[in-house]
Amino acid sequence: MLDEMAWWFYAAGWLVLGVWSGAHAVMYKRDPRSATIWVFIAFTFPFLGPWLYWRFGINRIERRKLHRLRRRKHKLTPPDFGTASDGPITADDAIGHLAKLRKVADRVTRLPLLPGNAIHPLHNGEEAYPRMLEAIASAEHSVTLASYIFDWDEVGHDFADALAAAAKRGVKVHTLVDGIGALGHLSRMGRRLLQSKVEVASFFPLRFPLGRIRLNLRNHRKTLVVDGKIGFTGGMNISARHLVERDDPDVSKDLHFQVNGPVVGELQHVFVEDWALATGKVLRGDAYSPELSTAGSIYCRGIASGPDQNFETIHWILLAAFASAEKRIRIVTPYFIPTASLLSAMAMASLRGVRIELVLPSAVDHPFMRWAADAYLWQLLEHGIRIYRQPPPFVHAKVLIVDDRWVLLGSANLDPRSFRLNFEFNVEAYDTDLAATLSRWIEQCIQASSPVTLEAIDARPLWHRLRDGVVKLASPYL
């Protein structure tokens, strides 16, 4: 009798937890494939399935710490960035026929479009790191650095030395590293920084055994702001792997950017929010957010995206960009795992006569990311989209140009993780000169690349196509 009762309690518990978890997944998961998988797991694995869902399956959060901070005496509110009402050129002249794209970005982002900025592309660590270290060495008031990875290597040591030296001379130095990407305070570099006067925080570190295991919700942003006036952002982490002139097969080409002008205040504001989320402390005052003057003629906006937003911001802006394009779209990305709507938007733009060029790496640091991408490419090739593979080494750069006028740059890849799971930071810029400079670089990349043809994709061995299709099924989590 007791065994029978125990079995019924067991079955009832399994059913209740399965229904509870499955219902939550059905109601709140935006991707139906993801919801289906979690419902299957919740009912297939008694007790373990629901536990896995509540530990790993919920990837949207509310920034409760920020809400509490806004209610305190020292409220966390964005500074007055100004508007795009004036500048060396008018907003209408800069934006041109992409006014609908600007309107969408106004509605799905939290920060305004600002005039008077300058952006300087920096290729690989050889160009970016000296400029960044020089800025840190010149800091007088504050340095705020966010990096997904902060490696224990020659570049990491150079940055650790520069940050420690700035802190020693009285500069307020704050370094935010991701809890998994840089292993937080468990890393040797984290311990080294903590031994100096640098303030270090870890973003959502793993906590065993009782804390929440956040394998997702990673801070993938890469920003550096010095004295609230000089900004750097793009795709580069703090790592020697971006020094491409080394004799090392694991080097990674990349593109970073120095930013000057009012948009630097937006870089800083996003860091201040992240720092408050990680530490509960608000960085405020002129040392961090001084009044910024005009530095150029570019209209820019900082785009903060992540699982705390009401919109999948980057994804929506990409859809708007493809719908607004009239002549040409050029894309460089290391990872390409598109959503169904993104595929449709690209195909529709191509059918309208827009020339689309997609440049991908042939060597990828995670092979399964290429396998997943290969499963999608035929859907683009059959609609006339041109695809190219860059030769090794791995190219980690991320740039998108629309009609030689609008540029999107930053940390986000074209994959579900960047759209839904990671905290990302990008900058949109309306400027024909910047677009022309980056377009010339993309043209050089294309000249050195090999075109991907529909015939080559169809000629893949059967087991390659099966492998790629299986990996494609897991694309919501890649």
Q: Would the pLDDT of 184 be above 50?
A: no
Q: Helix axis angle, 340-351 relative to 367-381, nearest 10°?
A: 40
DSSP category for residue 404: T
For 311-337, write each residue's pLDDT tens digit: 689 999 999 999 999 999 999 999 999
CB 28 within 8 A of CB 60: yes
200 SS3 class: strand
Q: Is the pLDDT of residue 183 over 60?
A: no
Q: Please state which of the four CATH numbers 3.20.20.70, 3.90.440.10, 3.30.870.10, 3.30.300.30 is assigned to the domain occupying 313-477.
A: 3.30.870.10
Residue 445 pLDDT: 97
Q: 115-298: what CATH class? A: alpha beta
Distance CA 389, CA 453 (A): 11
Q: What's the pLDDT score for residue 63?
A: 47
Angle at 214 between CA 209 and CA 216, to 5 degrees: 155
Q: Provide the 8-state DSSP code for 238.
A: B
Which of 137-151, 170-184, 214-228 tops mean pLDDT?
137-151
Domain residue ranges of the chain, discontinuous segments joined by +: 2-57, 115-298, 313-477
* Average predicted confidence (pLDDT) for the chain: 86
Q: What is the pLDDT of residues 194-243, one digit of tens each?
A: 788 899 988 876 654 444 555 567 889 999 999 999 999 999 999 999 99
Lowest average pLDDT, out of 142-146, 288-292, 323-327, 470-474, goes to 470-474
Task: Please give the Cα distance from 112 to 152 (Å, whole number).
Answer: 37
CA-based nearest residue to 457, from 381, 344, 364? 381
Q: Work out the angle between the directed axes of helices 154-168 and 124-137 (0-180°, nearest 10).
A: 10
pLDDT of residue 27: 72
- Residue ranges of alpha helices (H) inside 124-279 are 124-137, 154-168, 188-194, 264-279
Q: Above 60 in pLDDT, residue 29?
A: yes
H or E element: which one contains 205? none
In this predicted model, what pLDDT tens digit does every residue of 235-284 receive, in sequence order?
999 999 999 998 888 899 999 999 999 999 999 999 999 999 888 899 99
- The answer, yes or no, to whether residue 129 has pLDDT greater than 60, is yes
Q: What digits encode the pLDDT tens for the residues 63-94?
A: 455 555 544 544 456 666 665 555 667 888 99
CA separation for the pair 82, 312 (Å, rounded): 25
Residue 312, pLDDT score: 86
- Flag whether pLDDT at 138 surpasses 90: yes
115-298 and 313-477 share one CATH topology? yes
Would you state the pLDDT for residue 58? 61
Q: Tell me the CB-side half-sphere exposure of residue 235, using CA atoms within 13 A.
A: 27
Asked whether the whole model's pTM tops 0.85, one would answer yes
Is pLDDT of 395 > 50? yes
Q: In the chain, pLDDT over 90 holds for what percent of residues? A: 63
Closest by CA position to 342, among listed 358, 362, 363, 360: 358
pLDDT score, position 206: 61
* Cβ contact 174:145 at 8 Å: yes
Helix (H) or strand (E) holding 173: strand 172-178
